[in-house]
């Protein structure tokens, strides 16, 4: 693990440990909250609102060279950074929202504020009708939190005993515990490793156990901070289906941060993109595609190898043997026109048309907006 990573995440051990301690204390002390569902299944109060939230951190300044280091050692100087900078958004009951952005954008800081771990420097938060910090005890009953990089479970205790301990802490009904256990067995394959102590679990197993633990008290909302970091493709797939199912069947609202755009595409109809603490996009993935992903790429295989040529409405991207790649705008150029123009040059054996990869599109948004913010 590199030095910068460790330095950047050194705060995790303190504030998360503290949070999980509070979480368990709070759950012990609080009665089950009233359901926010009416019998019709409609929410009776607004779900999640973030209004102009800002989180500032103080950071020790660094200076180049021995002299700079020495001066700062004797006389430390601090700078204030806006990890989250005036962000507003609202989430409805049952939504699944991807909260994405490059490293250091402020995603985990936002999740920690939503979970009541950190207090915003400015702004207002309301989750299930409560202020996450002021009503921390009641709030922790409504939420489930998973940090992919940290476990919430007891290190030396087998998974099944951890879940039983949590059941005793929550004082939830036995029937609910049994029903959840059977769901977790079916969908997360928990029985495969339920008697293994948490410290001996593989990363994928540990995350599955953590998600089961976070959902055991039937929370209304689930915050997932990079839940599948370092998890293999098959386990990722399992987790994805599970998250989809609890969102669909139990109407659990999900806020998910991830660097995996494939996961976003498969799970989240809506994304919020942040960069350097600022909100740069809030809307549907389809909209991103429509606005930023108007470009398509056509791959053509000709009957024989021919010289490169441009077309009036498509740019040649690359050429390899009998294949050529052309970029065109899906709204300005009908595919049939392109085929006609290409066939005029040489017989076409095969062709495929692809949208620009969503990953590429999101990268373009980061770069574009970050540049505009700097200008």
Ligand X SMILES: Nc1ncnc2c1ncn2[C@@H]1O[C@H](COP(=O)(O)OP(=O)(O)OP(=O)(O)O)[C@@H](O)[C@H]1O
Q: Interaction with ligand X in 100-119: which residues (CB under 6 A)? A: 101, 103-109
Q: How far apart are CA 287 and CA 357, in angstroms?
A: 14
DSSP assigned state of 103: T
Query: Closer CB to Mg ion, residue 102 or residue 189?
Result: 102
- Give the range of 3-11, 89-97, 101-109, 331-339 binding Mg ion by CB under 5 A: 101-109
How many other C-beta atoms lie within 10 A of the C-beta of residue 63? 12
Q: How far is the CB of 110 from ligand X (least distance, A)?
A: 7
Q: Which does 8 bind (CB under 5 to 8 A by kind): Mg ion, ligand X, none?
A: ligand X
Query: Closer CB to ligand X, residue 13 or residue 156?
Result: 13
Q: How far apart are CA 106 and CA 89, in angstroms?
A: 14
Would you count residue 108 as binding Mg ion (CB under 5 A)? yes
Would you count residue 76 as binding ligand X (CB under 6 A)? no
- What pairing do the DSSP bridges indicate for beta strands 253-257 and 96-100? parallel
* Angle, vertex CA 254, rays to CA 252 and CA 259, nearest 5: 155
Query: Closer CB to ligand X, residue 49 or residue 82?
Result: 82
Q: How far apart are CA 338 and CA 110, in angstroms?
A: 46
Query: Closer CB to ligand X, residue 50 or residue 338?
Result: 50
Which of 244, 177, 182, 237 lies closest to 204 in space, CA to CA?
237
Q: How far is the CB of 225 from Mg ion (least distance, A)?
A: 6
The answer to whether the beta carbons of residues 316 and 308 sit under 8 Å apart is: yes
Enter the tokens of residue 78: 């601090």
Of how many residues is the chain composed?
375
DSSP assigned state of 98: E
Q: How far is the CB of 294 from ligand X (least distance, A)?
A: 28
Q: Which does 342 bind (CB under 5 to 8 A by kind): Mg ion, ligand X, none?
A: none
Query: Closer CB to Mg ion, residue 108 or residue 333?
Result: 108
Would you count residue 325 as binding ligand X (CB under 6 A)? no
Query: Closer CB to ligand X, residue 53 or residue 342?
Result: 53
Would you count residue 338 as binding ligand X (CB under 6 A)? no
Which of 23, 50, 83, 288 is close enough to bind ligand X by CB under 6 A?
Answer: 83
Q: Interaction with ligand X in 55-74: which residues (CB under 6 A)? A: 57, 59
- For residue 328, what are the CA distances in angstroms to 13, 145, 146, 298, 324? 50, 43, 42, 8, 13
Q: How far apart are CA 215 and CA 81, in angstroms?
A: 34
Q: How far is the CB of 31 from ligand X (least distance, A)?
A: 33
Would you count residue 8 as binding ligand X (CB under 6 A)? yes
Query: Closer CB to Mg ion, residue 5 or residue 78?
Result: 5
Residues paired with residue 80 on neighbouring β-strands, in sequence order: 58
The answer to whether the beta carbons of residues 243 and 267 sit under 8 Å apart is: yes
Enumerate binding residues for ligand X (CB under 6 A): 8, 11, 57, 59, 81, 83, 101, 103-109
Enumerate binding residues for Mg ion (CB under 5 A): 107-108
């Amino acid at each position: 693990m590199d030095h910068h990573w460790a330095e950047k995440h050194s705060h995790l051990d303190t504030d998360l440990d503290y949070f999980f301690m509070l979480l368990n204390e709070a759950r012990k002390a609080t009665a089950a909250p009233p359901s926010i569902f009416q019998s019709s299944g409609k929410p009776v109060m607004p779900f999640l609102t973030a209004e102009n939230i800002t989180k500032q951190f103080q950071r020790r300044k660094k200076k180049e060279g021995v002299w700079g280091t020495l001066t700062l050692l004797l006389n430390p100087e601090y700078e204030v950074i806006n990890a989250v900078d005036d962000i507003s958004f609202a989430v409805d009951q049952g939504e699944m929202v991807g909260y994405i952005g490059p490293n250091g954008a402020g995603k985990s800081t936002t999740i920690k504020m939503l979970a009541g771990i950190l207090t915003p420097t400015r702004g207002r938060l309301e989750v299930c009708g409560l202020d996450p910090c002021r009503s921390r005890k009641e709030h922790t009953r409504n939420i489930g939190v998973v940090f992919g990089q940290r476990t919430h479970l007891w290190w030396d205790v087998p998974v099944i005993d951890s879940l039983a301990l949590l059941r005793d802490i929550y004082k939830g009904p036995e029937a609910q515990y049994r029903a959840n256990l059977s769901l977790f067995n079916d969908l997360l394959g928990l029985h495969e490793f339920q008697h293994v102590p948490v410290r001996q679990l593989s990363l994928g197993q540990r995350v599955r156990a953590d998600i089961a633990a976070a959902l055991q008290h039937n929370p209304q909302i689930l915050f997932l901070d990079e839940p599948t970091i370092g998890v293999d493709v098959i386990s990722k797939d399992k987790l994805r289906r599970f998250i989809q199912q609890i969102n669909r069947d139990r109407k659990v609202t999900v806020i998910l941060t991830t660097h995996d755009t494939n996961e976003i595409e498969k799970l989240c109809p809506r994304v919020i993109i942040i960069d350097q603490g600022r909100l740069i996009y809030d809307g549907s993935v389809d909209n991103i595609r429509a606005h930023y992903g108007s470009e398509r790429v056509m791959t053509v295989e000709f009957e024989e190898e021919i010289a490169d040529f441009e077309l009036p409405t498509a740019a040649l991207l690359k050429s390899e043997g009998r294949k050529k790649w052309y970029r065109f705008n899906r709204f300005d150029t009908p595919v049939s026109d392109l085929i006609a123009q290409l066939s005029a040059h040489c017989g076409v054996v095969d062709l495929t048309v692809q949208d620009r990869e969503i990953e590429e599109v999101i990268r373009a948004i980061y770069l574009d907006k970050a540049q505009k913010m700097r200008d």
